[in-house]
Structure 1
């Protein structure tokens, strides 16, 4: 029996049902870093399942390991006896799954380079109009509107406007700056680039849409949690409220304000316990194992 139907069924479950389960899970906002890992595990698993399904649809009577051995034999990378030289169809069956993976990786590279170019242009502007503040470890803009954002990547920096400095108290300013430093230190731009790449390739898939949207919110929550290490919940909440009307961050940057501010404000003001250690361990294990599951459909012998 060919593994393609099982792989397609699995991909459908991951692509359509798993996002609903994630959205209705109460633990995700209590453990945002773990939730980001779970979303990424699902996207990787879906990509592998689609790639392997493409292979099995092209070779309905063969197993994946047999085709790989044949291709390696023709390339001189193995000396296994009795391995037949692969036909054009065999080569196509290997090329199809690799193409799926390469399209996703190419989209990721595109998103990374596009973000880098946008940040480079903005960084050049900051070098001309901003001034470095050693006390704040940030670049200050002479702008009346409140604004604060992190510019990650090459020569990262945190940017704050003069309007924000006048608006925020010392504690509120520290919370905002710590929030932005978390984005920079955590390389959150690469995490978002991966989700944007997946959403670009599978744009109509519920998993792609929800993974991108939820990861954006969860990364902000991770940064909020870092700010809470140095400031109280009230201080961070008032800072978020004051910055609610802040100028939007430029492309490729992260800002403490944004469309998720209301959800995050409610979370900050309503402290919740972290998920039980058993739940955290189970989710972490599932996030690590789920990308491997599609391989089991391909490698486990099926009954003819």
Structure 2
């Protein structure tokens, strides 16, 4: 007995969703090559997240629509007739209706969580910015930088468009030499200019939407480590590796004793992340070759194209 195109697409999408929800993130998080080319790895992580969500929703959607037509467009049109114009339900059964409801609920849940996470982060930033207005003073030497009266070494950035600032503590300024301060400022400004907070927002929303999925937390931790490495690479363009290592160690000394570092509210810089960053700088490895980076980019594009094609191609048959 031959299966209809939508049923085949549903099974393939379900298999792809399982792969992207578990083995793919685990393997990528354990791989060593991302620290050699963090930008390429970041693109791949985004592709896994987007393709995984689309595959989960697409699998349920195509399974639910399978009895209603040979492709997603004609089946959707018939579903509209059933819901709004009392057309005959034909081969639509309970499990098909359940799959359609689950697809709609999951899609709405992901979008709502993304919006809710954005609102929560904006409120936290707003409260944080109000505190900074009271507890900090603008830096006379560095534009876009404020200084707080704190004995521990603290450095982080607070995104906010034109109101974005880099925050340093008195304690850190007393410890840093001019070159080390330059490294810290370049690192934190890179978080702002490359808009790393948007990446953290997306993966924080993924973790909030699917907390039962262990790899959502794994992905958030890996992405945070990668953005730190991207900022380190930017700092290496203005200072030497030993200078950057010293600056990381000094800032981390404050983080380990309870101070914030990196991008507050959305990100986190653990001992493991700091150790990985320093190890990467002490024992540098060459970046991935151009062909390998192209291969990673091609894999990312294919991951995004696969679920889209499985949804659209049956309509062309």
TM-score band, normalised by the shorter chain? 0.7 to 0.9
- The structure with the largest helix share of the pair is 2
| Cα drift, residue 101 of structure 1 | 2.4
2:205 maps to 1:197: yes
The aligned counterpart of 2:136 is 130
- Pair 1:233 & 2:241 matched: yes
Counterpart contact for 2:200–2:266, Cα < 8 Å:
no
Structure 2 partner of 1:215? 223
With over 3 angstroms needed to count, the CA separation of the structure-2 counterparts of 1:210 and 1:221, relative to structure 1, is: same
Cα distance in 1 between the residues matched to 2:160 and 2:267: 12
Q: Please name the residue that 1:269 is paired with.
A: 282
How far apart are residue 270 of structure 1 and its match?
A: 1.5
**Alpha-carbon distance in 1 for matches of 2:269, 2:12:** 43
Q: TM-score, normalised by structure 2?
A: 0.84
Q: What's the counterpart of residue 46 of structure 2?
A: 40
Q: Which moved more, 1:254-263 or 1:291-300?
A: 254-263
Distance 1:48 1:223 in 2: 30
- Counterpart of 1:50 in structure 2 is 56
Unaligned runs of 5+ in 1: 76-83
The alpha-carbon deviation at position 284 of structure 1 amounts to: 1.0
Q: 1:19-98, aligned counterparts within 5 Å? A: 19-61=25-67, 62=69, 63-70=71-78, 96-98=102-104
1:199-255 per-residue CA deviation (whole Å, 9 max, x = no partner) reads: 222223243222111001101111111111111100000111122221124842668
TM-score (norm 1): 0.87
Per the TM alignment, residue 69 of structure 1 is displaced from its structure 2 partner at its CA by 3.9
Query: Structure 1 pair 102/239, CA: closer, same or farther in 2 (3 Å)?
Result: same
- What do you get for the CA RMSD once the two structures are aligned? 2.8
Structure 2 counterpart of 1:149: 156
The answer on whether the counterparts of 1:30 and 1:274 sit within 8 Å (CA) in structure 2 is yes
Q: How many residues align?
A: 295
Equivalent position SS for 1:221: helix
Question: Which residue of structure 2 aligns with residue 79 of structure 1?
Answer: none
Aligned equivalents of 1:129 and 1:196: distance in 2? 28
